[in-house]
Chains A and B, each alone.
Chain A
């Protein structure tokens, strides 16, 4: 039996004693395959948020974690994740507080910039969000930002593309080289 046969057999769960003959990277790959076959992940929360709320939330998430040389919060599916968490993880008062907060952000944008938050410029959006950020983590915006970061860095894009955590070949190296990611400057994604 060659290695390929062993792997194929393992995915049926019929040959557990054979795992000793595999390389660590093969074990990891096989394990992923087994778990992927367990079943589809339930599609998170049908309740989610109204189109109106999403028109405010989506650009807010994207300005918190923008696309630059890696994708940002929108591409990583953060707005839907936040909708799911507000619907299924947080309690009703917190969900109401965040939705009311997003609506107030829209109202302030109309007053100050003469257009809804989603239709204002990136610079205008940033100015409003920086103000909210200064209110600290207990403010409703603190919840949005917390969920944006959590959602982004636990998304496939966040883990694989941004953090670069790919299969490590099944080894442990406690003293591996590390260089911080260098990113291209981006007009759209100005730092704050």
Chain B
């Protein structure tokens, strides 16, 4: 029985978001009394969500309190889904500082509340294949993944079956299908472009509807999406997957979860004789009191860079480089996905058609570079996301004129435009790393990070190619005024940061083994994006969730065998 006030548990999960929620669900369902530590505040859906609040009821009409945001969230505001309703789901930059070298910015988007970034994620979910798991070995880069698709496939099934993924089966070997709910519809222009791409690039390129963790049919007690639009403000009908909407309630239902908000993990302590993690040192965010919790197994799910920070802050005289860092790889190999390149174009037909309802999803063009052929300029590849829409008044807010004529021009829908935006793979590079800042601390006195990360030549070559092939496809589809673009973009800006405690086959060159288990501390599992050995070009959360579930089952088996 879990006693109120106890400090001893079977398992501790650090973080309550995308992966922490999964660890909580799996470990409690497997019978472990589990403490979930969340650095931020609780979230109450009925009062903290605001997705149905009409724009005219928002004091700043959806754009947020500029002065407050400039003062307290000057970095977080760069996230694409940051708005007046959702800004509360990002951290306060003043309380949570970090530094970057002069001229080398890095966007570190962070969420500190129950549910973490799973409340504000983009919800796009794509499986990896062996094209991705074999990539490092094939290219002779970094280290080889210790797993292959056969190791993760069943766990993708398990996760997708629980979270609910809508999508279209395409039978692609390098983008495997899952147990999809019915796909969302393309609009008329997207359907036309999809047909033209298939006809113009047979067997090479295709455009499908996005695979998205949003329900198109009732699923596990959650309602189907009603297309209201701003998912990032929450979802009272629990139609999109988040920890708050699905995994934490499942863990709660077991009666074995203790969720402790306002619990900032400062460091982990290690038993020097066994090498195992013996405690989790927490600073209460409200009282600032220190408290230590103990468990037989610890899951670190604090988000990739935050988890690296906790490991680095767990340094001792015996381990001056931090916990689980005999390889020296903790904090290294930061990866994101390169974006902000692609093309847009105008379609002159369908003037008598519009989209009704706000579809929280777009289209997807799966990777086609370096799949069956080899590109001369770069390794790996990229996928496109995007969609077609008719411009509204926002696009014409600088329209000349005044009066009824202006009013009419603003009210009328503009032409259809279609946008394709690339998401490209980033290679692992040991020089892209975070280190403990020598002096700067956060609001709780905990040393923060210095992040030094930049795109490499392969990413820049990918970015260039994204603008070329996107324009090519739009032109083949009959778009007018096709405008390729390849704009500067800041690493971290895609919010897919990963790689800071990589998996590998050799404890000398990696932090984790093929079960997400720290080589140096067998009862420590790191299952957020930190474990990623390469980045693929797929949105990564699905892979994080699948390997979290797998690691939980492995850890419980190991506990039963007496190995932890």
Contacts and interface: CB of A to CB of B under 8 A. Distances in A.
Contact of B218 (A20, A88, A173): A20
B237 A66 contact: no
Interface in B324-361: 350-359
Contact of B403 (A16, A25, A64, A178): A64
B404 interface: yes
B406 A27 contact: no
Contacts of A145: 402
B406 A192 contact: yes
Contact of B401 (A20, A32, A133, A178): A133
Contact of B397 (A35, A134, A146): A146
Interface in B508-541: none
Given A89-B67, A159-B55, A28 B226 contact: yes
Contact of A183 (B51, B58, B226, B404): B404
Contact of A34 (B46, B63, B392, B410): B46
Interface in A63-118: 63-66, 68, 72, 81, 84-85, 88-89
Contacts of B61: 81, 150-151, 154
B271 interface: no
A171 B225 CA distance: 8
Given A38-B47, A38-B50, A154-B61, A126 B227 contact: no
B502 to A, nearest CB: 39
A25 B359 CA distance: 15
Nearest to A137: B398
A46 interface: no
Given A133-B400, A145-B402, A31 B228 contact: yes
Interface string A106-148: 0000000000000000000010011001100100001001100
Interface in B392-441: 392-394, 397-398, 400-408, 410-413
A149 interface: yes
Contacts of B188: 174-175
Contacts of A35: 49-53, 236
B403 A126 contact: yes
Contacts of A171: 226-227, 356-357
Contacts of A133: 400-402
A63 B403 CA distance: 6
Nearest to B184: A172
Interface residues of A, number: 70
Contacts of B359: 172, 174
B416 to A, nearest CB: 11
B361 to A, nearest CB: 9
Given A149-B410, A174-B355, A189 B52 contact: no
Given A68-B407, A190-B403, A172 B356 contact: yes
Contact of B352 (A22, A34, A178): A178
User: By CB atoms of chain B within 10 A, which of A24, A30, A35 has the most?
Assistant: A35
A27 B226 contact: yes
Contacts of B65: 88-89
Contacts of A16: 45, 238
A150 B394 CA distance: 8
Interface in B24-78: 45-47, 49-63, 65-67
Interface string A150-186: 1101111011001100001011111111111101001
Nearest to A190: B403
Contacts of B356: 168, 171-173, 176
B221 interface: yes
A177 B350 CA distance: 9
Give the one of A31, A84, A145, A172 with max B CB within 10 A. A172
Given A150-B61, A192-B401, A192-B402, A181 B411 contact: yes
Nearest to A129: B402
Nearest to B219: A20
B58 A41 contact: yes
Contacts of B236: 19, 30-31, 34-35
A68 to B, nearest CB: 5
Given A20-B222, A170-B226, A180-B413, A66 B403 contact: yes
Contacts of A179: 352
Contact of B54 (A126, A159, A177): A159
Contacts of A28: 52, 226, 228
A72 B410 CA distance: 13
B187 interface: yes
B334 to A, nearest CB: 35
A42 B51 CA distance: 18
A191 B393 contact: no
A174 B227 CA distance: 12
Contacts of B401: 130, 133, 192
B270 interface: no
Contacts of B152: none
Contacts of B53: 35-36, 38
Interface in A30-69: 30-32, 34-36, 38, 41-42, 44, 63-66, 68
B252 to A, nearest CB: 12
Contacts of A156: 54, 56
A131 to B, nearest CB: 11
Interface string B211-235: 0000000100111101110000000
Given A174-B188, A178-B354, A66 B407 contact: yes
Interface of A: 13, 16-17, 19-20, 22, 24-25, 27-28, 30-32, 34-36, 38, 41-42, 44, 63-66, 68, 72, 81, 84-85, 88-89, 126, 129-130, 133-134, 137, 142, 145-146, 149-151, 153-156, 158-159, 162-163, 168, 170-181, 183, 186, 189-192
Interface of B: 45-47, 49-63, 65-67, 184-188, 190-191, 218, 221-224, 226-228, 236-238, 350-359, 390, 392-394, 397-398, 400-408, 410-413
| 3 nearest CB pairs, A to B | A174-B187, A191-B405, A170-B226
12 contacts: A35-B236, A38-B50, A66-B407, A81-B61, A89-B66, A151-B61, A154-B56, A162-B411, A163-B411, A171-B356, A175-B191, A178-B351
Given A41-B58, A174-B355, 18 more contacts: A13-B45, A16-B45, A25-B226, A28-B52, A31-B52, A34-B46, A35-B50, A38-B53, A126-B403, A146-B398, A159-B55, A163-B411, A172-B356, A172-B357, A177-B352, A180-B411, A191-B404, A192-B403
